Amino acid sequence: FPGLADVSISQDIPVEGEITVPVGSHSPDEDYSTLDEPVKDTIMRDLKAVGKKFVHVMYPRKSSALLRDWDLWGPLVLCVSLALMLQGGSADSKDDGGPQFAEVFVIIWFGAVVITLNSKLLGGTISFFQSLCVLGYCVLPLTVAMLVCRLVLLAGVGTVSFIIRLIVVGAMFGWSTLASTAFLADSQPPNRKALVVYPIFLFYFVISWMILTFTPQ
């Protein structure tokens, strides 16, 4: 046993074991080592991806990060928060804002699907879910506008507050449209860009209209 140095044994076995495990095709197996760790890694990776996309929307540069790894978590969160903030505002809410909540939801998702279909029919190279992802994430400025509007409405419902809200919503509407156009218009041939941009314009216009005409009871 003195002849068997620790060094030689531990060099042999780990190196053999690890050299024979191919990293590429069996990398899913490596995740099986513990139950907790890889799940946490997966969650953190997805959360970081979502956070990066939010940052990209606020500072729209021409980057392909939003386009490459799409995910629909951000749009879901934004849609739910926007719908929550918008409910309970219109004239006839005899229910507890039920129809309005579902309405906002349907408008956002159905509108995004229609725009995506439109851009695909015009021959765009972007994939279905990528386009949904971009349109959903670019609702972020309008969600911020909704938040600001609700805060302004807490202060008062007058002409001044209306003008402030108009300016804020208008600015955020422009930001949303520019951000999504920056990502989506590139995938189109040049003579079709306007045909793709105007539905996006309409989509965010409708959302902005819903935000601007929101008056709490």
Partner 1 sequence: AAGAAGGARLPRALRADGPPPQALVDDTEDVSLDFGSEEELALRKARIRHPLATFFHLFFRVSAIVTYLSCDWFSNSFVACFVTILLLLSFDFWSVKNVTGRLLVGLRWWNQIDEDGKSHWMFEAKRVPTIAASTEAEARIFWLGLIICPVIWTMFFFSTLFSLKLKWLALVIAGISLQTANLYGYIHCKLGGQKTISRVTSRLFGTADVPKRQSRRISEDGTEEHGKTGTR
Applying CB under 8 A, the residues found at the interface with partner 1 are: 1-11, 13-15, 17-18, 21, 23-33, 35, 39, 42, 45-46, 67-70, 73, 76, 80, 84, 87, 95-99, 101-102, 105-106, 125-130, 187
Q: Which is nearer to partner 1, 46 or 166 (CB)?
A: 46
Task: Give the Å distances, CA to CA, from 186 to 54, 85, 112, 167, 197.
Answer: 20, 33, 18, 29, 11
Q: What span, in angstroms and rounded, lies between the C-alpha atoms of 23 and 37?
A: 18
Q: What span, in angstroms and rounded, lies between the C-alpha atoms of 83 and 75?
A: 12
**Least distance CB 201 / partner 1 (angstroms):** 23
Q: Which is nearer to partner 1, 79 or 149 (CB)?
A: 79
Q: Which is nearer to partner 1, 49 or 144 (CB)?
A: 49
**Least distance CB 215 / partner 1 (angstroms):** 19
Q: Which is nearer to partner 1, 125 or 213 (CB)?
A: 125
**Least distance CB 128 / partner 1 (angstroms):** 8
**Least distance CB 171 / partner 1 (angstroms):** 29
* Cα angle value 118/61/127 (rounded, 5°): 30
**Least distance CB 170 / partner 1 (angstroms):** 28
Residues 74-99 as b or e (16 or more Cβ within 10 Å = b): bbeebbeebbebbbebbeeeeeebee
Q: What span, in angstroms and rounded, lies between the C-alpha atoms of 24 and 28?
A: 9
Output DSSP code: residue 20: S
Q: Which is nearer to partner 1, 52 or 155 (CB)?
A: 52
Q: Which two tokens stand for residue 164?
A: 């402030």
